[in-house]
Each structure stands twice: as structure tokens, then as C-alpha cells.
């Protein structure tokens, strides 16, 4: 079964608005990562937050991590049509294995 | 894409036939992974390799085998394809334990009739 569950499953917003998506996980983690997948393409790494960090920024991306609630959120500010994609969280539990969430499909309307 | 190619990119096959998917990387990354992606399931780990000839099972390994005879190639074999193995298959690499980022290939769409 999937460890990561993302919420919402789909999100549609206007260009310029902020988009927030959430990820919950079940077991202890070393870090949590967010990936983007454009339609028909492979995943691309966006940002990594370690288990001892609470918040991290990268450009228009802001990620938070609450290990007590086993949850993370990804905020994309001032969204653009090019941000239209699916977004996945992934947790690294142990040395090798990644567990991906089911993803949030984001559509940014121009 | 970190120099990752997958072949074939698309394949249609019949139930019961063997199928081999190839992942090739040019970055000399130590770890390699095979995932399948299905609607509603996200990506699920099939097998992974932590070095040449060193492989291990993921969460959905039944019906699949892998081989890694050299650093740059990681093969995924469906011994006898079934319709439930219709999916999009992604290969990913990771440089080593010093970096947690995964790099993904473009994917292979497999249809088993």
C-alpha cells in the first residue's frame, strides 16, 4: 500500500494564485521530497526537506514538514500556466527505498 | 533527465510472452530503480539495485525480475506478461548515499493484450 497520500487529488486555480497541496505519510522518515511530473514525462525533483527541518524555500516553492503529524505541504506561489503538472511527495525510509504518494494534479488556468 | 534513457518507449505485447525493458544511464550513478505508475497508485517500487549484481525487491516485485551486469544498465524482465502488468514503467537513478535525489527516465508504456 502507498505510504504517502496526497490531498487534494486534483486542484484547479487561476494564474497568479497560490497552490497548496498536502502529503501525509505513515512511518518515520529521513527526509521528504517533492517531485513534479509533466504529462507523459518522467518525474523531476523539486525540493527536499530533512526530518529535522520545519520549513524550506526554493524560488516560488515553500515546503513545510510536521513530523509529529507525519505531514508535509507544498506551496507554489504566484502560479503560472507552466506549473500545470502532477506533484508527488516521496519519503526515504531507510537507505534505499522511496515511497511515493498518489499525487496531486494541478491545473493552472491562464 | 540526468542521461537516462529507456527502451523501448512503447511496447504492445500479448499475454504470456516475455518482455524486457532496458534502462541505460551515463552518469555512473550507483543506485538504480524500477517503478510502475498506475492511475490512483502513484509510483510503486518494483525492484532496485544498489550496485552491480546487487538487487533487491520492492513492494510489487511479483512477476518481475531484474539484472544489473554493469553500472550503466538495469534490465527489467516480465517473465510471462499479464494484463495486470499493463502500465507505465519508469527507471530512476540515484548517485549514492551522499545524495537522496532521484533522477527519472522518460518512461516506457507497456500494453499487454
Q: What is the pLDDT of residues A49-105, one digit of tens each?
A: 999 999 999 999 999 999 999 999 999 999 999 999 999 999 987 788 898 999 999
Question: Looking at residue B1, what is its pLDDT?
Answer: 53
Give yes or no for residue A1 having a pLDDT over 60: no
Question: Looking at residue B47, what is its pLDDT?
Answer: 97
* % of chain B at pLDDT higher than 70: 98
Q: What is the pLDDT of residues B33-55, one digit of tens each?
A: 999 999 878 899 999 999 999 99
Q: What is the 3-state secondary structure (H, E, C) of chain B?
A: CCCEEEECCEEEECCCCCEEEEEEECCCCCEEEEEEEECCCEEEEEEEEEECCEEEECCCCCCEEEEEEECCEEEEEECCCCHHHCEEEEEEEECECCECCCEECCCEEEEEC
Give yes or no for residue A36 having a pLDDT over 90: yes
When pLDDT is cut at 50, 70 and 90, the band that residue A47 belongs to is: very high
Question: Looking at residue B2, what is its pLDDT?
Answer: 63
Give yes or no for residue A43 having a pLDDT over 90: yes
Contacts with A, B 12-51, CB within 8 Å: 31, 33, 35, 40-45, 48, 50
Contacts with B, A 26-55, CB within 8 Å: 30-31, 33, 35, 40-45, 48
Mean pLDDT along residues B49-77: 96
Mean pLDDT along residues A33-41: 94
When pLDDT is cut at 50, 70 and 90, the band that residue A2 belongs to is: very low
% helix, strand, coil for chain A, step of 5: 5, 60, 40
Q: Does A82 touch chain B (CB under 8 A)?
A: no
Choose the closest CB to A97 out of B1, B45, B101: B45
When pLDDT is cut at 50, 70 and 90, the band that residue A3 belongs to is: low
* % of chain B at pLDDT higher than 90: 90
Q: Give the mean pLDDT of chain B.
A: 95
**Which residue of B lies nearest to A33 if distances are taken between CA atoms?**
B101
Lowest-confidence segment of A9-13, A27-31, A45-49, A76-80 by average pLDDT: A27-31
Amino acid at each position: 500500500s502507498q505510504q504517502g497520500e496526497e490531498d487534494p487529488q486534483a486542484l484547479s486555480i487561476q494564474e497568479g494564485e497560490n497552490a497548496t497541496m498536502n502529503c501525509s505519510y505513515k512511518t518515520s522518515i529521513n527526509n521528504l521530497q517533492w517531485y513534479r511530473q509533466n504529462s507523459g514525462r518522467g518525474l523531476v525533483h523539486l525540493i527536499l526537506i530533512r526530518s529535522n527541518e520545519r520549513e524550506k524555500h526554493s524560488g516560488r516553492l515553500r515546503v513545510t514538514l510536521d513530523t509529529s503529524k507525519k505531514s508535509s505541504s507544498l506551496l507554489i506561489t504566484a502560479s503560472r500556466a507552466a506549473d500545470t503538472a502532477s506533484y508527488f511527495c516521496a519519503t526515504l525510509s531507510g537507505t534505499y527505498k522511496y515511497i511515493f504518494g498518489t499525487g496531486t494534479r494541478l491545473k493552472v488556468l491562464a | 533527465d540526468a542521461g537516462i534513457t529507456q527502451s523501448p518507449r512503447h511496447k504492445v505485447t500479448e499475454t504470456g510472452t516475455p518482455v524486457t525493458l532496458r534502462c541505460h544511464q551515463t552518469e555512473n550513478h550507483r543506485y538504480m530503480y524500477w517503478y510502475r505508475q498506475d492511475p490512483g497508485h502513484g509510483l510503486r517500487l518494483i525492484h532496485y539495485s544498489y550496485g552491480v549484481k546487487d538487487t533487491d525487491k520492492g513492494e510489487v516485485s511479483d512477476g518481475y525480475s531484474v539484472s544489473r551486469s554493469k553500472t550503466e544498465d538495469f534490465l527489467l524482465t516480465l517473465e510471462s506478461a499479464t494484463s495486470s502488468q499493463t502500465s507505465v514503467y519508469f527507471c530512476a537513478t540515484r548517485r549514492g548515499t551522499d545524495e537522496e535525489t532521484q533522477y527519472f527516465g522518460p518512461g516506457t508504456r507497456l500494453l499487454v493484450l
